[in-house]
Structure 1
Amino acid sequence: MTQTRIRHFRKLRGMTQSELARRVGTTAATVSRLETSGMTVSMDWLAKFAAVLDVRVADLISAPPRTASIPCIGQIGRDGHFENVVPAGDETLTLEAPARDPVAMRIRANVGLYCAGDVVIADRLPPEHVTRALGRDCIVEIDGEESGFGRFISSVDGTFFLVPPQSGAQARTLPRHGRVAPVVMLIRHL
């Protein structure tokens, strides 16, 4: 018996147990038991929860991702001088994506400020919060069409555009049904 991650994803989606229960076709009490008890859950149930929570079945039963805590040993000033002083609260650096619904993308070639090999972590926004992404670099996923990456902007009439990061590139008009994920973290291997 394994504890599921149903609660984790339900909370990330901002859903109550009652709302999830209604969408899955069960009771809030059943959702509560499945979230908190080490029960065996059938694949049928897991598939229903995965569909509603927009995750893979494996995400509901796998262990949560581990975060890496790395000791911080000091600071480097403008002149490159190392100071063996660690500000309070910065004793360790925890590598964890600051995102509610993270997605990642690897940069294949140098483009704009991004270098080949960089990994960008973005946070998929719910459709009602898409305007929070304006003016930011974003991954835009469009069902049935080519997705893209670039600066997410809008016009006075409310049309959304995606401006690729390379200079001179043509902006693309975006349909309203795409998923927008602003970049929240850059990982660069040196």
Structure 2
Amino acid sequence: MKTRIRYHRKLRRLTQSDVAKLIGTTAATVSRLETSEMNVSMTWLQRFADAFNVPVSDLIEFRPTHGGIPCIGEIGRSGALFEPGTGRDDDIKLESLSRNPVAIRIRENFGQYCVGDVIIADRMSAEHVIHAIGRDCVVEIEGEEGGFGRLISSDNGTYLLVPPEPGAKVRRFPLPNWVAPVVMLIRHL
């Protein structure tokens, strides 16, 4: 059975060793399970689902029969259009691959974001904040206004939220109520 274990690991910017520690196994076993060199049981799927804070169904690869936009090829640095390989299903799906997606519209240009962009973030409880460290996130902080920026962990158990705009004020706070790392950017040209 094909799985999406590697996809969810890379989405969270975790190494195979990081995941191995979370689920109580070795990096070699994680590798074999990602590449289907080893049969993936429901027990393994549940362990990965718990570590990634997703339902087991999100870890099973399936290809919807409709709803995609046909991908006619790839463009290289030279600008040349390369046709996709034969037998490849490269339809582009605009579905969110997160457990609890939320959308936020960008109001003004800042950092890498432009007016009108829509970001899709995966809202998760504070206990899973480790999966959001080093990523752009929306956060809700107890007794304060929510915020957006790069989430960084500090030495004293608090967190920093670094806004994307240079010179903006960095916020320091304890464990947030919830955090939602960005998983997708939609930009109309």
What TM bracket, shorter-length normalisation? Answer: 0.5 to 0.7
Bigger drift between 69-78 and 90-99 goes to 90-99
TM value normalised by structure 1: 0.60
Distance 1:125 1:87 in 2: 39
The residue type paired with residue 169 of structure 2 is Q
Partner of 1:71: 70
Partner of 2:105: 106
Distance 2:102 2:164 in 1: 19
Distance 1:107 1:140 in 2: 15
**Count of residues in correspondence between the two structures:** 124
Bigger drift between 123-132 and 79-88 goes to 79-88
Map 1:111-150; keep pairs closer than 5 Å: 111-150=110-149
Could you tell me how far 1:161 is from its partner in structure 2?
1.1
Maintained 8 Å contact 1:72/1:86: no
The residue type paired with residue 135 of structure 1 is G
Distance 1:87 1:162 in 2: 45
Distance 2:115 2:160 in 1: 24
C-alpha distance after superposition, 1:84-140 (max 9, x if no partner): 234754431111112111011011111001111111100012222111111100001
Cα 1:88–1:126 change in 2 (3 A) is: farther
CA RMSD in angstroms comes to 1.8
Maintained 8 Å contact 1:123/1:182: yes
Cα 1:178–1:77 change in 2 (3 A) is: same
Note the residue ranges of structure 2 that are not aligned, 5 or more in a row. 1-65
Note the residue ranges of structure 1 that are not aligned, 5 or more in a row. 1-66
Secondary structure of 1:68's partner? coil
Distance 1:87 1:179 in 2: 44
Name the % identity: 58
